[in-house]
Structure 1
Amino acid sequence: MMKVFLLGLALLRVDSLMYPAVISPQDPTLLIGSSLTASCSVDAGSSLRAEDLYWTLNGRRLPAETYEVLNATTLSVTISSLNGSQQQSGDNLVCHSRDGGILAGSCLYIGLPPEKPTNISCWSKNMKDLTCKWAPGTEGETYLHTNYTLKYKLRWYGRDNTCQQYHTAGPYSCHIPKDLALFTPYEIWVEASNRLGVAVSEVVMLDIVDVVTTDPPSNVHVSRVGDLEDQLSVRWSAPPALKDFLFQAKYQIQYRVEDSSEWKQVVDNVGNQTSCRLAGLRPGTVYFVQVRCNPFGIYGSKKAGIWSDWSNPTAASTPRNGRATGVCEPKNGEHNNTLRRELKQFFGWMRKHGSSYGCANLSIKMYDQWRVSLQKSHKTRNQVLSGDKS
């Protein structure tokens, strides 16, 4: 019995040596702009007195005029107009002895309650999952660790479900990988919580078939159009993941020249077709081309659909010619004159070669053949002019 008593005394002695002082309040949570008065009390049996103590906040010594001796063993400090915590784990308020030893510490959590999350947007990849993103609120920064929880449920029945896979599409996002119903609206909302409170977003209602996106178009090929020096042909495959679903597709194409980072979007809506011809390009130039897809009207949905990511860039070059490559965009009114002049030249060529083809064989291929012959005549003329100059 005596051994147990002595062991207890020894433990108390060790505890008093390890923690020779106590700070009150311990680990408080405070609003930005508020004030705090904290006290540090040393053990009465210690040789330390209140005059032997001082305070630091995040390693910076606080001025003596903010101190007050409350009694022989207790020193308080008052901090006014607190700023937000420098770290989400809390600011370190520490009580020291005269020689710099650490006697006790307290974490100050200084910040703001969470704002109501906003701008919830969701998309489903091939109708197999659901990913949602949101904004943290108008202010955003709370200076405190803030948890965001995305919840969802079927609109007319069912229990609340909590999303589990966070940060999959950015810091404020969550991914629901499976077990989703079609043709039944979901209610989706986000709850934000920290030490100072809870805020809940507005509820968003959506049907999975209305927010479908898909993979980028595959098998993108870019090739020359015969000898036409200002055109390239682009072909691609429709998204295979949606081949079993009734839907329509829109495609967009963008391209850039090899030595530029600026993409030019030339086709806003290619419809269901999976090929397109780019015209008005610079001869002898390498172009990079990308395609993306927007599946819409799935099972009769009236929503606009969501664009996929762009396909990987595919490169091809236009044929080179001997002419200068700089081409100005026609001004208003000049385009019609140019088109009229080209048609006049084309029909003149048709009258000359019409007996060989006949009207029944009139097609875009004949127009392309005329363009090739026109470009060859330009090359021949340029070569003659170059020879005359030399």
Structure 2
Amino acid sequence: MFPLSPITERGSHLELFCSLGKKLYPYKNASHIIWTINGNRIPKENYIIVNDSVAGVVIHNFTYGEANVKCYVDFPVEKQLLAHTEVKSGFPPQRPENISCINYGGQNITCSWTFEKDTNIETNYTIIGSKHPDLKDQFLNYTWRSKNSSRLWNFSTKIFYPEFCIQLKLENRLGKAESSCIPQRSEEILKLDPPPVKVKKIPGVKKMLTVSWGGDMEESKCQIRYRNLMQNDLKDTHIVSNISLQNDFNLTNLWSFTEYAVAIRCIVHGSRFWSEWSREQKGITEEEAPSKEVDLWRVLGKCQPNGSRQIHLFWKQLKENESLGIIKGYRIRCFTQSNRSQACAENTTNKLVTVQLTEEAYLISVIAYNAAGDSPEAVLTIPSCSEESQDQPRVVMLNASALNEQMIVEWKTDPDIHSFVIEWYDVLETNASERSWQYVKNASSWIFQKGAFEQYKCYNISVYPVYKDEIKAPSSITTYFEEGRPSHGPAAEVENIDKSEATIKWKEIEKASANGDIINYTIFYRPEGGKELGKTVNASLLQYRLKFLQANVKYTAHIMASTIAGGTNGSAVTFITNQLSVVEIIFINVFAVMVMLCLITFGLLWALKRRMLKRIFWPKIPHPKLPEMIPGNLEKQLKEPQSEENTVIPEIISILKVGDHDKRQLLDFEDCLGQTKVTEEGAVCLHEASGSGGHEAIKPLLQTPTTLGQQLVPAPVSQQPPLQRSEESLSEHCQKSNHSNEEKQDQPNTKEKTEFNPYLRNSVHTREFLVGENLSFSKKTGRKKETVPGAPCRSSDNGQQYVALDAVVL
């Protein structure tokens, strides 16, 4: 490849050529050569075919600082590298301008120059120093090489001439350039070194500092620069010029007990260059008595019943330009306003003092002092307890708002009040010394300086009017400088859970975590697997009754507290509604109690009035009276073998369909009848066998004149149930019975047919009397017929059997 390692002017066209070589020429030609630059293939339209073995490439507008150009021969599998070279670009040197030299302290010379454009390639720099412009009598000829443009050159020499010239030559591969020989004068280019400086105060002399410096400055002039370090503002820097022929200077009209920084620079007469500023030296002026009284304020305690109260006094530290020295302490004096007698005296180094006073009005003075003297007296009036309670606020329409990171307070008051005290503090701060205040005159608004308030804190701002040197009752307002979301949400609790209602309660967020004024609370609640619902309530409410809930369902609820900046959710709480409401539970309990009371009452009545209740609910139902039997015939039939037709006892017993208990009693009754002789004891046996009152009608059985041998054939009676019979049917039945008795005399056999009646208690059977052929009653017996007392149907004169009322009606 040729040319090898070329250097071209940046932005120009570059031509490169590549040869195949003798080995490849028989097989390939120049058309198979490929060019790349920095790995990127160059388009074929830039290729040049010189002959069969040589090809070239043209790179237009070459702007690379350095580039790697390669040529390849094309092969089917992989192209083969033929050659490569590094190409650099730059600019030819230009004529240097603005050549100037500086002689530092008469020992070193430094020259500098400027170029319109850098070369960006290695360039040779040659500086030539000569006594004459035609470069004769050269005392300096020095050459160096630099890739970057060199704009500064230093050299040391002890040979100085009043006048000499400096020439600069430059050369690289793209061209050459040189300057003319620039004349220089040693007096004009001399630059002194900065002098050493000292600053001190003169004892007993106020507001003055003495500045001194070293070195031989007979043929030079100097400047002094000083500034107040308390102000820390370079605009307040003062310069004193044209100081000559001396090595010290007094700075006057300074602040007392103030630190200053002082620096000096000098220049030789006839030179163009000032020396550099010396290192700053500091000095403090003498102390002086404080020039201003302390900024005094107070916080009044409550008047106690015994007439005493606490007064908290505090004041701001004086600034350095006001204290004019080191404050060593404060003197506090208290005087009654009535007779100016001293009530308290105290010396302290603190900025907060608490004094115990009575309910009278007082004057309190505070004086700050240093080594040089006392400050003016600061006086404050303390009203009496009665004046404080009767004083009414004179500041109206107080308003506070934050705008552009500043707090603005506006108010209106009486036109004769021109002085005010603005007090502000964090409402959560209990220490009185943390309060801030500011005296304002001839204003109805105040803009606080930045940084006086912090975000998310609630401040109490009060405006006190000052009238005739007395501080009157204030007007106050609480506000936030900047509000934010609450730090945390309220914790919820659920009470009084019912079937469809529940009460959710929460506590008010403490002021330190609210980060603003709470404007509302939002209750969010959601049934399990359902949609979340919400209800917003006023900030004054701390509980809410949720209604229209689903019964026996699990709910999740939480409370969100909101300020104007946004809201924060509290912790969630879960609860399950009841399956029954309170009213339903009370009704069920009342009903159960009433049932229990009824059962207990009935039990007590049963225990106490069992027999009476038994007669009411289970009345005794007597059996109908059996026919009269003759004792002789009864005894005879008891001795004779009884046939099934002539058996009296079974027919007597068959009248009733009884239970087990009654069967046992009837068996006893049969045993009694089984005796060979019926006596009075037999009658007793029959009575005992009857047992219950339901069978007492069997008692007179043995007393009847009829014999057991006579067959009882009942007469036919109506088959209607006894409960459906009226009194008329009963009377008709009795008449039929009397008539049947007359027929029974002619009928030797009488059979009794029994039938069960379900309407009778104690399994009593109703009966129909059938007239038998063998049934006959003697009319000649003349025996008195026995009757059951109270029976409705009575027997006739001829001894006809009757039917008892109890056998028909319950």
Same fold (TM over 0.5): yes
**Per-residue deviation at 1:152?**
0.9
What are the Cα deviations for residues 193-243 of structure 1, in whole angstroms up to 9, with x where unaligned?
Answer: 22222222232212323322222102x11223547675433211025xxx8
| Contiguous gaps of at least 5 residues in structure 1 | 1-22, 297-302, 328-375
Task: Give the corresponding residue for 2:376.
Answer: 384
Task: Give the corresponding residue for 2:68.
Answer: 92
Question: Which residues of 2 match residues 239-318 of structure 1 at below 5 A?
Answer: 248-256=219-227, 257=229, 262=234, 264=237, 266-279=239-252, 286-296=259-269, 303-318=270-285
Is the contact between residue 253 and residue 266 of structure 1 (CA under 8 Å) also seen in structure 2? yes
Is the contact between residue 123 and residue 145 of structure 2 (CA under 8 Å) also seen in structure 1? no
Is the contact between residue 20 and residue 54 of structure 2 (CA under 8 Å) also seen in structure 1? yes
Q: CA RMSD in A?
A: 3.9
Question: In 1, Cα distance between the equivalents of 2:152 and 2:223?
Answer: 27
Aligned length: 296
Tell me which structure has the larger Cα radius of gyration: 2
Change (3 A) 1:199 1:66: same
SS of 1:114's equivalent? Answer: coil
Task: Give the corresponding residue for 1:364.
Answer: none
Give the letter aligned to residue 153 of structure 1. Answer: S
| 189-198 vs 104-113, greater mean Cα deviation | 104-113
Task: Give the corresponding residue for 1:372.
Answer: none
Change (3 A) 1:113 1:260: farther
Change (3 A) 1:279 1:237: same
Question: In 1, Cα distance between the equivalents of 2:117 and 2:11?
Answer: 17
Task: Give the corresponding residue for 1:149.
Answer: 126
| 249-258 vs 109-118, greater mean Cα deviation | 249-258
Question: In 2, Cα distance between the equivalents of 1:207 and 1:29?
Answer: 41
Is the contact between residue 187 and residue 203 of structure 1 (CA under 8 Å) also seen in structure 2? yes
Give the letter aligned to residue 251 of structure 1. Answer: C
Change (3 A) 1:53 1:210: same
Is the contact between residue 190 and residue 271 of structure 2 (CA under 8 Å) also seen in structure 1? no
| Contiguous gaps of at least 5 residues in structure 2 | 293-318, 323-368, 383-810
Give the letter aligned to residue 61 of structure 2. Answer: S
Question: In 2, Cα distance between the equivalents of 1:325 and 1:112?
Answer: 63
SS of 1:24's equivalent? Answer: coil
Find the partner of 2:83 among 104, 120, 135.
104
Find the partner of 2:101 among 115, 122, 137.
122
Question: In 2, Cα distance between the equivalents of 1:101 and 1:283?
Answer: 89
Change (3 A) 1:248 1:164: farther
Question: Which residues of 2 match residues 1-390 of structure 1 at below 5 A?
Answer: 23-46=1-24, 53-71=33-51, 73-83=53-63, 85-86=64-65, 90-96=66-72, 103-135=82-114, 137=115, 139-155=116-132, 157-159=136-138, 161-163=140-142, 171-183=150-162, 185-218=163-196, 220-226=197-203, 231-238=208-215, 248-256=219-227, 257=229, 262=234, 264=237, 266-279=239-252, 286-296=259-269, 303-318=270-285, 383-388=375-380
Task: Give the corresponding residue for 1:330.
Answer: none
**Per-residue deviation at 1:117?**
0.8
Give the letter aligned to residue 312 of structure 1. Answer: R
Task: Give the corresponding residue for 1:20.
Answer: none
What are the Cα deviations for residues 240-267 of structure 1, in whole angstroms up to 9, with x where unaligned?
Answer: xxx8xxx511212334538858484612
Change (3 A) 1:215 1:97: farther
What are the Cα deviations for residues 78-137 of structure 1, in whole angstroms up to 9, with x where unaligned?
Answer: 111223x52xxx5433335665876433333433222211111112233334221111x2
Task: Give the corresponding residue for 1:345.
Answer: none
Question: In 2, Cα distance between the equivalents of 1:103 and 1:115?
Answer: 38
Give the letter aligned to residue 95 of structure 1. Answer: C
Give the letter aligned to residue 263 of structure 2. Answer: Q
Question: In 2, Cα distance between the equivalents of 1:231 and 1:221?
Answer: 14
Is the contact between residue 131 and residue 176 of structure 1 (CA under 8 Å) also seen in structure 2? yes
**Per-residue deviation at 1:24?**
1.8
SS of 2:194's equivalent? Answer: coil
Task: Give the corresponding residue for 1:300.
Answer: none
Identity %: 25
Is the contact between residue 35 and residue 42 of structure 2 (CA under 8 Å) also seen in structure 1? yes
What are the Cα deviations for residues 319-377 of structure 1, in whole angstroms up to 9, with x where unaligned?
Answer: 575556789xxxxxxxxxxxxxxxxxxxxxxxxxxxxxxxxxxxxxxxxxxxxxxxx99
| 56-65 vs 150-159, greater mean Cα deviation | 56-65
What are the Cα deviations for residues 30-66 of structure 1, in whole angstroms up to 9, with x where unaligned?
Answer: 3333212212223231487656654333454434443
Change (3 A) 1:198 1:285: farther
Question: In 1, Cα distance between the equivalents of 2:250 and 2:192?
Answer: 24
Give the letter aligned to residue 36 of structure 2. Answer: T
Is the contact between residue 55 and residue 77 of structure 1 (CA under 8 Å) also seen in structure 2? yes
Return the TM-score normalized by structure 2. Answer: 0.32
